Amino acid sequence: MNVTVAKYRIAWLRGDGIGKDVMDAARVVLDALELDAEYVPGEVGWEYWRTEGDALPDRTVELLKSTDCCLFGAITSKPKQEAERELAPELQGKGLVYFSPIVHIRQLLDLHTNMRPCKAYAGNPLNYRDDIDLVVFRENTEGLYSGVEFYPLPDEVRDALLKNHPKMARFAGVPADEIAISCRIFTQHGCRRIVRQAFEYAKRFGRPSVTVVEKPNVIRETSGMMIREARDIAGEYPEIELWETNVDAMAMWLVKNPQDYSVLVASNMFGDIISDLCAQIVGGLGFASSANIGDDYALFEPTHGSAPKYAGQYKVNPTAMLLTVRLMLDWLGEGALAERLENAIAAVIAEGKARTYDMGGASSTLEVAEEIAGRL
Ligand code: NAI
Ligand code: MG
């Protein structure tokens, strides 16, 4: 018997809401590209929280570990109390705590680099201007999203801070349940890793500059560490300029002169915020792709969430997802397929016939995907 094994094993996590719609669109183009892959479906999201008390069941984690990479739709998350209320009756009162599967996967598989390209494709009526071509590198596992948080504030933590930092004195008398602390944790290793990725990308694609976006004048220790490491690493890339911009000013410059910037690098929260801003100036969530990259695994997902109000209507723009597929192909080393896909997406945007509602059109998610597939 002749058993053929596909070249790639890809975890296929559709998730919730429009995550399912756009993953179906992804399949349309992947099939048209005839990628030699096996797509292995996995269970993740709200349904599994409600029925099993775990939005990321162990079997799904195992699946991820047995594949080359993952394509991910989107999931629904809800605040703590609401999440508890929606649990199946037999699971309530057991102390189960909801956590976001995507944040968990990033930490579990050490997907330290979040990369978000934001490019203006000619003819997109939602472009802020047509000459924007930014790529944001966001540190994905530490910083303010490390999850080291305190509320109510334990006495031992307060005492240790009082003993070690004079500025804590002003909070000495605040009752434990009236004060909350979220730690912004940077490691030298984490800073170097993300900055290195940004410079390597700039080198590979001939980008002229890397801008590190922090706030070292105020957040001296953490942002200070990032800037120090960025300067050190920049020394190895004399052909690429290092620019340093404070995050608040960056928000302003990105609205004023986005065409002046090329590669941006930032810690977790600043990168999160700046990348949303960048996404909006090139058409918004319908165009925002992202990659979560580790040393030997990667997960690819559009930036948008599950948009429950459009779930299952096949109405939303698949472009973000299809540009995400492009990132996956590139990471797999299928550069030629990646380029064909990007060219087809660009051609369909430029032509302007197949457009979803956000672009002022009436095409469905799958009609746009099929139009793109038709040009491959
Ligand atoms: P969202 O991104 O799901 O949707 C916000 C709005 O953006 C939508 O109502 C729609 O008008 C527009 N939109 C989003 N994707 C679009 C597309 N492909 N084409 C056209 N328009 C699009 O954000 P929201 O409403 O804040 O969150 C909904 C749920 O998604 C929440 O449960 C949230 O926790 C979750 N979420 C999940 C993420 C993930 O899976 N990584 C990321 C962000 C939110
Ligand atoms: Mg965000």
Mean pLDDT of 13-29: 98
Strand partners, 138: 114, 266
Ranges 51-60, 97-106, 157-166, 320-329: which has the least confidence:
97-106
pLDDT at 61: 98
pLDDT band at 332, cuts 50/70/90? very high
More confident residue, 348 or 2: 348
Residue ranges and CATH numbers for the domains of the chain are 1-116+288-376 (3.40.718.10), 133-145+186-281 (3.40.50.2300), 149-182 (no CATH)
pLDDT at 4: 78
pLDDT at 103: 85
Mean pLDDT of 175-196: 98
pLDDT at 146: 87
Distance in angstroms (rounded) separating the CA atoms of residues 287 and 301? 12
Average pLDDT across the chain, whole number: 96
- CA nearest to 175, candidates 156, 152, 150, 148: 152
pLDDT band at 64, cuts 50/70/90? very high
- If one residue of 80, 304, 309, 316 were mutated to test the ligand 1 pocket, choosing by the most ligand atoms within 8 A of its CB, it would be 304
Degrees, nearest 5: CA angle 200-201-205:
120
The structure tokens listed for 16 are: 């919730």
**For 42-151, where are the E strands, in sequence order?**
69-74, 113-119, 133-139, 149-150
pLDDT at 1: 58
Read off the pLDDT of residues 267-320 as tens digits, 9 standing for 90 and up.
Answer: 999 999 999 999 999 999 999 999 999 999 999 999 999 999 999 999 999 999
pLDDT at 54: 96
Read off the pLDDT of residues 218-249 as tens digits, 9 standing for 90 and up.
Answer: 999 999 999 999 999 999 999 999 999 999 99
Q: Which atom of ligand 1 is nearest to the CA of 321?
A: 18
Ligand with an atom nearest the CA of residue 274: 2
Give CA torsion, residues 332, 292, 70, 336, to 10 deg: -20
Mean pLDDT of 187-200: 97
Ligand 1 pocket, residue 359 CB under 6 Å: no
Give CA torsion, residues 222, 225, 230, 236, to 10 deg: -160
Helical residues (DSSP H) of 282-334, grouped into ranges: 319-331
Task: Tell whether the model's pLDDT for residue 2 goes beyond 70.
Answer: no
Strand partners, 242: 210
Ligand with an atom nearest the CA of residue 272: 2
Compute the chain's Rg from CA coordinates: 22
Mean pLDDT of 189-200: 97
Which residue has the least CA distance to atom 1 on ligand 1?
305
Of all residues in the chain, what percent carry a pLDDT higher than 70?
A: 99
- If one residue of 100, 280, 285 were mutated to test the ligand 1 pocket, choosing by the most ligand atoms within 8 A of its CB, it would be 285
H/E stretch holding 41: strand 37-41
Task: Tell whether the model's pLDDT for residue 53 goes beyond 70.
Answer: yes
Task: Tell whether the model's pLDDT for residue 168 goes beyond 80.
Answer: yes
Ligand 1 pocket, residue 316 CB under 6 Å: yes
pLDDT band at 107, cuts 50/70/90? confident
- CA nearest to 44, candidates 108, 113, 92, 99: 99
